[in-house]
Amino acid sequence: MFYFILSLVVLLDQAAKLWVRVQMKVGESIPVWDGFQLTYFRNSGAMGSSFEGYGRWFVIPAVLVVVWAIYYLNKGRLNGVLLQAGAALFVGGAIGNAIDRVIYGWVTDFLDFGRGISNFADHAITLGLVLILLQELVIHPLKKKRAEKPCFH
């Protein structure tokens, strides 16, 4: 499941970014529905255009995240659907944006909800982090607490 989700995220992200680069001009917007449009933006920094011009440096943490996740997966430490799915989404997003940074020196952003422009990789990273935190901070402690409770029949 891990490699399937990871591959799907990278493929969808790169296909969407390719479509934007081929079909749109930088700065062009295409209205989709009220409050949402596609806007082609080249982000040479990090999220929110912070660290503008230093985007290639973010390839290093992306590689470290990939190595960490594959190591933990191979050691059997990514147990459960949420943890594996979350890690796969996070890693897939990191790879998707790293590909752009290595090839172009910037990331193709295009999802414009009126409060910043992002891409599928960004949302995969966010959703992956939410799933990992949900598993580790909510579900795992609840299961552990339930397992420690004495059962009286």
- Residues belonging to the active site: 109, 122
**End-to-end alpha carbon distance in the chain:** 39
Contacts for 48 with CB less than 8 Å, ≥ 6 apart: 116
Residue of 26, 47, 58, 15 lying closest to 115 (CA atoms): 47
What is the rounded distance in angstroms from the CA atom of residue 67 to the CA atom of residue 75? 12
Partners of 39 in beta bridges: 29
What 3-state DSSP class applies to 80?
coil
Letter for the amino acid at 107? V
